[in-house]
């Protein structure tokens, strides 16, 4: 028995190995399906940004406002994608768990009894399913992987539009004045834009460090996910 009272990992019969192989194949299938759903929301964001770019740069007199409004849609797609990522991460973590604790020992020396209780951990995850990452972590990972680049293009395009259309700017004051939206002064719009970009960049940096910390703490015998 292990120190926590749970049975240690054990060797499996041929029938059990076959059942685990089918279980692994099922988890790979589910993770693939949810991975496709992640790509779908990313594609929506790219397409809507492309439409906003086309409208904004269609003529020198076109308003840059679509590039701001499209940010609302991009954030909506990001929120949906973060939720989908939490589901995807469950299937991915289970598949990776079996790869690490079942297939690696099987290929290496055939000894599946490594004393880590990995089978108990997997059984408990099936008995009481749960998310393996928080919503904020999922959100930050999607920003780091895809959305930071989408938001970077959005920001560069907006600044470029203000700088060159309808005519090139001749001073910083001119640039700030062009950023005005109705009664809202241009400097407020620019400050909000900087905060907007800073928050997403900060999330990407934070989750990179957090994932590195989690990986170092998890090691070989750490928790699933």
Q: Tell me the CA distances in angstroms from 122 to 98, 117, 127, one per residue in order.
A: 8, 9, 9
**Per-residue model confidence as pLDDT tens digits over 45-60:** 999 999 999 999 999 8
Q: Is residue 110 predicted with pLDDT exceeding 90?
A: no
| Any domain includes 151 | yes
Query: What is the per-residue pLDDT for 221?
Result: 53
**Per-residue model confidence as pLDDT tens digits over 161-208:** 999 988 899 889 999 999 998 899 999 999 999 999 999 999 999 999
Backbone angles phi and psi of 181, in degrees to 5: -125, 105
Residue 176: CB partners within 8 Å, gap ≥ 6? Answer: 185, 186, 187, 190
| Any domain includes 7 | no
Query: What is the per-residue pLDDT for 108?
Result: 79
Place of tokens 């003529």: 59
Report the chain's terminal Cα–Cα distance, integer Å: 25
* Percentage of the chain exceeding pLDDT 70: 89
| Any domain includes 144 | yes
| Any domain includes 9 | no
CB atoms within 10 A of CB 94: 24
**Per-residue model confidence as pLDDT tens digits over 86-99:** 999 999 999 988 88
Q: At what angle do helices 65-98 and 148-164 cross, to 10 degrees?
A: 160
Grouping H, G, I as helix, E, B as strand and the rest as coil, residue 90 is helix
Closest CA to 35 of 77, 92, 73: 92
Average pLDDT (89-110) is 86
User: How many folded domains does the chain comprise?
Assistant: 1
| Higher local confidence (pLDDT), 102 or 143 | 143
Q: Which domain holds residue 154?
A: 14-218
The answer, as to whether pTM is greater than 0.85, is no
| Any domain includes 173 | yes
| Any domain includes 20 | yes
Measured distance CA(170)–CA(164) in Å, rounded: 10
Query: What is the per-residue pLDDT for 161?
Result: 93
Query: What is the per-residue pLDDT for 201?
Result: 94
Query: What is the per-residue pLDDT for 152?
Result: 92
**Per-residue model confidence as pLDDT tens digits over 3-13:** 444 445 556 77
Question: Torsion over CA of 21, 25, 28 and 30, rounded to 10 degrees?
Answer: -130
| Any domain includes 105 | yes
| Any domain includes 2 | no
Query: What is the per-residue pLDDT for 1?
Result: 38
Query: What is the per-residue pLDDT for 6?
Result: 40
DSSP string, 98-117: HIIIIIHHHHHTS----SS-
């Amino acid at each position: 028995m292990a120190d926590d009272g749970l049975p240690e990992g054990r060797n499996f019969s041929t029938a059990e190995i076959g059942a685990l192989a089918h279980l692994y194949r099922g988890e790979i299938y589910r993770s693939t399906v949810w991975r496709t759903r992640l790509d779908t929301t990313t594609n929506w964001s790219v397409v809507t940004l492309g439409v906003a770019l086309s409208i904004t740069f269609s003529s020198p007199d076109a308003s840059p406002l679509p590039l701001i409004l499209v940010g609302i849609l991009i954030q909506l797609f990001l929120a949906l994608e973060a939720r989908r990522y939490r589901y995807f991460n469950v299937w991915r973590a289970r598949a990776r768990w079996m790869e690490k604790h079942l297939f690696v020992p099987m290929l290496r020396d055939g000894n599946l009894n490594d004393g880590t209780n990995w089978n108990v951990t997997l059984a408990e995850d099936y008995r009481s399913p749960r998310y393996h990452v928080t919503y904020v972590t999922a959100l930050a990972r999607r920003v780091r992987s895809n959305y930071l680049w989408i938001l970077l293009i959005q920001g560069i395009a907006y600044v470029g539009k203000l700088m060159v259309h309808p005519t090139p700017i001749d001073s910083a004051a001119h640039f700030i004045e062009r950023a005005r939206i109705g009664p809202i002064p241009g400097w407020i719009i620019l400050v909000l834009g900087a905060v907007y970009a800073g928050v997403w960049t900060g999330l990407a940096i934070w989750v990179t460090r957090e994932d590195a910390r989690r990986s170092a703490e998890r090691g070989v015998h750490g928790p699933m996910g």
